[in-house]
Every structure is written in C-alpha cells, then in structure tokens.
Structure 1
Amino acid sequence: MEASRILIGVVGKTNVGKSTFFAAATETVVEIANRPFVTIKANVGVSYVRKRCVHVSLGLPKCDARNSICMEGERFIPVKMMDVAGLVPGAHEGRGLGNRFLDDLRQADVLLLVVDASGATDPEGVPVKPGSYDPVEEVREILVEIDEWMYSIVSRDWSKFARTVDTSGVLNVPGAIAQRLSGLSIRKQHVVEALEVTGLSDKKLSSWTSDELRNFMATLRRIAKPIVIVANKVDVPIAEENVGRLREAYPDYPVVPASAAAELLLRRLSKKGVIKYIPGDSSYTVIDESALDEKSRRLLAIVDRVLEKWGSTGVQQAINKAVFDVLDHIVVYPVEDPNKFTDKEGRILPDALLVPRGTTVRELAYMIHTDLGRTFLYAINAKTKQRIGESYVLQDDDVVKIVAAAK
C-alpha cells in the first residue's frame, strides 16, 4: 500500500533548533519492519502524524498496523520531512546556502517555520543573550525571503510570457501559470484561488504591474506553501511572552509552542527503555531509575516544567497541525473483508492512508492502484455495511472495501 506523499519542509535560521526539531520528529520510537521511504536523502527523514486508531472506536482488541505504527491505540502514520538548509538575510539572492534552501523548498507541501521564541539568535543565526532579538521580526524576515524568491522565479521573462498568453487566446490562464510554476509543486487550483483573492482573474497578464505580480506571488505562496510557525525553545522563560506576541502579530498562521530539545530527550530515553513515552503525550513514566544519570535528571526536570506549562513538547502537535489542519487531510482504512476489517492475509486494519478531505472513494481506488480505480465497481462502508458509489466523499476514519471488476 503506497504511503502518503506529503512532504513537510522544516525551515528557519541556523541555531534556532531547526535541526533539533528535525532530529526529534524523525527519531523513531518503534521501528516498522517494512519501513516506508526506503531511499532517504541525508536531509530527508520519516516523521509521523498521530491519531486515535479506528480499531478503538470499533471495539476491536487490536489492529495489525503494516504501513504505520499503533501504540496503545494511537496510530502513527508516516510522512516525509525535509530539513531545509538554514536561512540568512539575502538568501533569495543566493547568500549563504540560499540557493540550496530554495531548491529544496520547491518540493514541500507545507512548511514548519521554526523560530527561536527565546530571542537568543540574531538575524545571522549567531547566539546572543535571550531576549536580544525579536522572534516576530525573525518570522517577517523569513517570509520576505521566501516571497522574494518566488517572485524572482516568476518575474524572469514575465513580460514575454504574459504577452504570449494574452495574444495566443489561451482560455486556461490559470493552467498556463501553473505550468510555468510546475517546478514549485504549484497546482492549477492554487493559481485559481490566488487570482480570485488578488482580484486579478479578469485582468490581462501583460497589464499586471510589478506590485500586482509581487502581491500575486505572495498570495500564491500562502496558498500553495502554507506555514505553521513553531515557536521553539519554550523551555526558556522569556519565550512565553513571545509566543503570545507571535500569535498576535501573525493571526493567519498557526503558532505552536515547542521545545524540540525536550522532545528529542524523551524520544531517545524512550528508545533506550529508560522511560515510557508516546510522542505527543503530556507525560512520561520512568521505567529504569538506575539508568538516569545526574545530567539526565536535570534535563528531565526542565522537560517536566515544559509539559506542565504547555501540555506537550509541541513537536508532535506541530506535525499534526500541518497535516490535519493546514493541509486538511483525513485518515481512511482500506480493507478486503468489511465484516472482519481485514486484508487478504487476515491482518486487521493493516493500512492507514492520509488523503485530502473531499476525496471520493473512486479517487481512493486510483491512489491505491491505477487498475483498481480503472475497474472500480462500487465500495462497501465497513462500518455501516452499506454499498456506496464512486462519488461517495470519504469521511475521517472511514473503513472501506473497494470492489472492482475482474480482469
């Protein structure tokens, strides 16, 4: 069963905890025997969204997770995560590792913008005294870099492109723009929405001013590359005030308080069997007191304060926010036997698939396999045992059997 193709990009300056966040998010507590994404580049790993497994609501004693993990009734479904090179001012002009950062950014579906909520890194990523730099300004600078980069891509030969579209009588203008920007993983529906928001739908491309083009691309970025702000380092006291300021300054962006260092410690201690911890939980249990040295005890005391104040380390919450809320995906479970909720081998609910909200059952069939979509006849809602047609819109936690014609 094919795993989700969602790619989360982790972006930010250097020294804000971006790499720590990536390490924490991709530190697997339990290995999957048949791990998805076998070929992983050095800066790409596997992370997971967390959701209550449907086997619990169905009253089943367990599931046999195959493409994912089930831990105490919590299903962890894999997504790709990319740690993008650190940003510095002028990155869109190639300064620092700007070119590498921007090339990687093309592929991402959603961005986790990690900022130092303690204000302890300057614009160049140099460590300074906590409170010395404003994380609100840090977010603004990064957004400017991304927007200017996207503008620089589309503005090259824009006049020539615009005249060609206007004079050729192309009716599908959004399609033409999407094709021009296909390297940015921008789809036609993104362009349509951006044209409507900016009020440029009925205006000839060749008549757009540079300000209109810049505004269009900034709007398109917000639509096609949505952002979750991760307010990192909330283990530092001064960060609490800055979390509130970030939320006030950027009301259109989700802001998730986080301590990537706390999450990384919890996951590594869990992997060693020292503590029991499920990513995203508000607490943990020490299993082996003798394995905790003095340094680990001091660090766990800091973790305890984070969990007490914020309810979690924020790492799992940021991933869930990006996939479930911002990208608006749901989870569905395809099965072969709608009565036993099993596949051909008798495994209970082996696969949990992430799909965009609004996906039809026929579209799901195509996602699973092209032939299954092509020969689709109908499906069965395993929860209700009702037959459903190809236009049925899948709901979160649906369990479905797809019936196709024999070849």
Structure 2
Amino acid sequence: MITLALAGKPNCGKSTFFKAATLADVEIANYPFTTIDANNGVAYVRSPCPCRELGLDCGNCHDGFRFINVGLIDVAGLVPDAHKGKGLGNQFLDNLRSADAIIQVVDASGGTDAEGNPVDPGSHDPKEDIRFLRFEMAMWVAGIIEKHLPRLARAAQGKEAALVDLLAEGLAGLSMTAEDIRSALAETDVDLFTADGDALCRFADALIAINKPMVTVANKADLAFEELLASFPPEVVRTTAAAELALRGAASAGVISYLPGDPDFTVKPGVTLTPQQEKGLSMIRAVMQRFKGTGVQEAVNRAVFSLLDMIVVYPVEDETHFTDGKNRILPDAFLMKRGSTPRDLAYRVHTDIGKGFLYAVDARTKMRVKDSTELKSGDIIRIVSTAK
C-alpha cells in the first residue's frame, strides 16, 4: 500500500488533518507535541469510476467516484534543529522512513511560532516553516551518509558504481534505491569520494526531493490574512482541515450529503438544523466557495497522482461483463505507477498470475494488448494466465 506521511511543526493542524482524512480517533489540542507516537490510519484517493460510462452499477463506488485506500501516518511535530535531536526530532525523522511521499502541513494563519507555540495570528511567517522542513530532512540524511561514507568509500576502491550500490544498501531502511542515488548525483554533480559537508547536504537535499517528494498544504487557510495567503506559491494547496472534519462528522451523522473532495454539500431531506448547525454549515460553505472545497482530499490526491505519478487500473476476469470470477462488477481498483504494463498488473494481482502471464485484453475494446503496452488510468484489463 502507498504510504503518505503528514509532516510539519507541532500545533499546525496535522492531527486535525489526519482525523479528517481517516476519521481515526486521535488527540487534538492547542499545544506543542500533542502527537507523541505516530498515528497510523487509512485515507483514500478519489478517482472517477468507469462503471457510470459503461452504464453499470458496480456497487463499489459512491456517486460515480471510487475511493482507493492509502496509508497515512501522522508523525510527531518537527522543530528547528530536529536533526540534532531537538524536540522529538529523531523520533519524527525515523517515522518518515516508510513514507512514499510527504504532505507538509503549514499553519497558514501565522498563529504559531517555529516550535508550535501559539502567538498572535500573522506574527509568524509560515513560509519559513516550508523551508525548514526540507532543510531538517536533508541534514538528517546527510548526517547518516557522512557517518558511513568513509567506510563505504574504502570498500568501493574508487569505483563510483560500487559506492552507489553500497550506499543504497546502507540507505535501504529509508527506502532509498541505487536509482535514486544515481539521479541525485546526476542532478548535483557531487563526487561522493571527495564531497565535503556542504556537497553532502546538496546531494541529500536532491535525494530527499526524489525519494520523499512533498506537497505543501496551507492549513487553517480560513483563518489566514488574505495577503499572507496570496504570498504562498500557487502549487501550495489551501486547506481547512477543521471544516473537512466537521463535514465528515455531519455526513456520518446523516445530516448532510457530502463526499470528500466535493466543492459543496447538501442538507439531507427531512433534516431540521439547529440554529448552531445552520450557522456552522453556512460558515463552512462560505469557506468552501472561497477555496473550491476544503482542500484535504485535493492534497491526498495530489500526493498520489501528481507526486507519485500513479494511475488507477481495474483488473477483471470477464471482459464482456466487466466482472471477476464471482460476478462482481469492477471489484478491484489498483494504484499503479504510470508506465506500468499488463504484465506488471498481472504480478500485482498475484505473483503466480504474473509468472504464468500469456496475454491481456482491453475490456472496453475486447482487443488483445501487448504485454509491453503502457496502461492508462481507468483501463479495465483482463489478464490471461496459465495460473489458476
């Protein structure tokens, strides 16, 4: 399963974002280090389900949208000099080892200082928080590399390819590969045999960007001054996790109809709102109109589909009825790396099916496709294999 990590300083709204995205029961409070141990939960990416265009009712989607699970980790807050062990730094950085991508949560209201302590709104520049996370992570990885590099360099005997392989073994716990290392070396032109501290930091920064890509969210956007909000780069997602949490709670209680990622909601027929509910929902609606939603689902989707470049593919056993062996319509939706082939999909379904792969059929066209064909998002594929 793809794993995303929520990162940021304490008290920036990570736990609220986590609870809104997963509906998990976590502690939320207005003081630093509310999260001591990492919270693990399941969030979902949202993708159009093909059943509607096929005139079918798959029973696995919601109003034509499929929600596919991904892992989500809410890790301890990060403070400046975390790589030196300050705050819960070492614990935080260790919790990032298994993450495929990072959602960096920033307090867009400027109402918390660099260590997460409450201050007057707007008195802290949240753009500083964007910069320091990347720096801390780079320093952390650079420290690991620097510790082991002399020994690895001696073992490599002057051969860069050997050093890359040895370093990849040493960084395997961070899920960093030799390909990641080669890409970072090509981008920075660093010579690991002669690199000083500054060069290792540049290399580590490039390696982090490749292996742990980040999407930044400006949380508490509804509380931010307009000019401060406008100063964020356009790729930063404006979010209000508190509004998303309230909407999901109201939907679970049967008060409103709302799907994560919708730009609006509707009050269910026959529901009479209290004055407090009506006021609260009206305020949330105004925020959603301003930002075209709460931004929470957009952030998760962007991490998976843009940063990790994933697509959604539907394997079936019967291409005529789009069903599996139990006559269930489009029962499975797999997240696959863009560029994946039918053979890759076969292995994803089951190793034995991959080993016995014969050919694949595009269920829409009923035509065979080559095992080297690049799959597209929304493809419905029948795998023919010698395996049962």
- In the superposition, the TM-score normalised over structure 1's length comes to 0.88
Alignment of 1:236-385 (within 5 A): 236-238=223-225, 240-247=226-233, 254-287=235-268, 292-385=273-366
CA distance in structure 2 between the partners assigned to 1:123 and 1:212 by the alignment: 27
Q: Deviations over 1:360-394 (max 9, x none)?
A: 11111111111011111111111111112221211
Q: Is the CA contact (8 Å cut-off) linking 2:38 and 2:75 kept in structure 1?
A: no
Matched position secondary structure for 2:217: strand
Query: Quick one: which of 99, 106, 110 aligns to 2:90?
Result: 99
Query: Quick one: which of 189, 192, 201 aligns to 1:199?
Result: 189
Alignment of 1:11-26 (within 5 A): 11-26=7-22
Query: Quick one: which of 201, 204, 208 aligns to 1:221?
Result: 208
- In the superposition, the TM-score normalised over structure 2's length comes to 0.93
> Partner residue of 2:151?
160
CA distance in structure 1 between the partners assigned to 2:279 and 2:161 by the alignment: 65
Runs of 4+ in structure 1 off by over 4 angstroms are: 288-291
Q: Which has the higher contact order (CA 8 A, sep 6+)?
A: 1
CA distance in structure 1 between the partners assigned to 2:51 and 2:270 by the alignment: 34
CA distance in structure 2 between the partners assigned to 1:12 and 1:96 by the alignment: 13
Paired residues, number: 376
CA RMSD of aligned residues (A): 1.8
Matched position secondary structure for 2:326: coil
Q: Deviations over 1:85-137 (max 9, x none)?
A: 11122211122211211111111010000001110001110111110100111
Q: Deviations over 1:188-247 (max 9, x none)?
A: 2211211111123xx4x3222222111101000011000000100111141x33333220
Supply the AA of the counterpart residue of 2:228. N
Matched position secondary structure for 1:156: helix
Instruction: Report sequence identity in percent.
Output: 46
Offset of 1:170 from its aligned partner?
6.6
CA distance in structure 2 between the partners assigned to 1:298 and 1:220 by the alignment: 48
Instruction: Say yes or no: does 1:45 pair with 2:31.
Output: no
Query: Quick one: which of 142, 158, 164 aligns to 2:133?
Result: 142
Instruction: Say yes or no: does 1:89 pair with 2:80.
Output: yes
Q: Is the CA contact (8 Å cut-off) linking 1:135 and 1:246 kept in structure 2?
A: no
CA distance in structure 2 between the partners assigned to 1:372 and 1:406 by the alignment: 5
> Partner residue of 1:63?
58
Offset of 1:73 from its aligned partner?
0.3
Query: Quick one: which of 152, 167, 171 aligns to 1:177?
Result: 167
CA distance in structure 2 between the partners assigned to 1:64 and 1:361 by the alignment: 25
Unmatched runs of 5 consecutive residues or more in structure 1: 29-40, 249-253
Matched position secondary structure for 2:232: helix
